[in-house]
Amino acid sequence: MEFSEVVRRRRMVRRYDDRPVDPAVVDRMLEHATRAPSAGFSQGWAFLRLDTPIDVARFWDATTPATADPENRWLSGMRTAPVVLVPLTSKQAYLDRYAAPDKGWTDRDEARWPVPYWYVDAGMATLLILQTVIDEGLGACFFGITPERVETFRHAFGIPETHQPLGAITIGHRLPDTGSPGSPQRRERRALDEVVHRGHWGG
Subset of 179-198 contacting ligand FMN (CB under 6 A):
182-184
Instruction: State the Cα–Cα distance between residues 198 and 145, nearest whole angstrom.
Output: 37
Q: How far is the CB of 131 from ligand FMN (least distance, A)?
A: 12
Q: Does 119 bind ligand FMN (CB under 6 A)?
A: no
Q: Which is nearer to ligand FMN, 93 or 130 (CB)?
A: 130
- Residue type at position 135: D
Q: Does 20 bind ligand FMN (CB under 6 A)?
A: no
Subset of 145-174 contacting ligand FMN (CB under 6 A):
167
Q: Does 127 bind ligand FMN (CB under 6 A)?
A: no
Instruction: State the Cα–Cα distance between residues 42 and 118, nearest whole angstrom.
Output: 9
- DSSP for 25-78, please give it: HHHHHHHHHTTS--GGG---EEEEEE-SHHHHHHHHHHHS-TT--TT-HHHHHH
Q: Does 137 bind ligand FMN (CB under 6 A)?
A: no
Question: Hey, how many other C-beta atoms are within 10 angstroms of the C-beta on 30?
Answer: 16
Residues at the interface with ligand FMN (CB under 6 A): 11-12, 14, 141-144, 167, 182-184
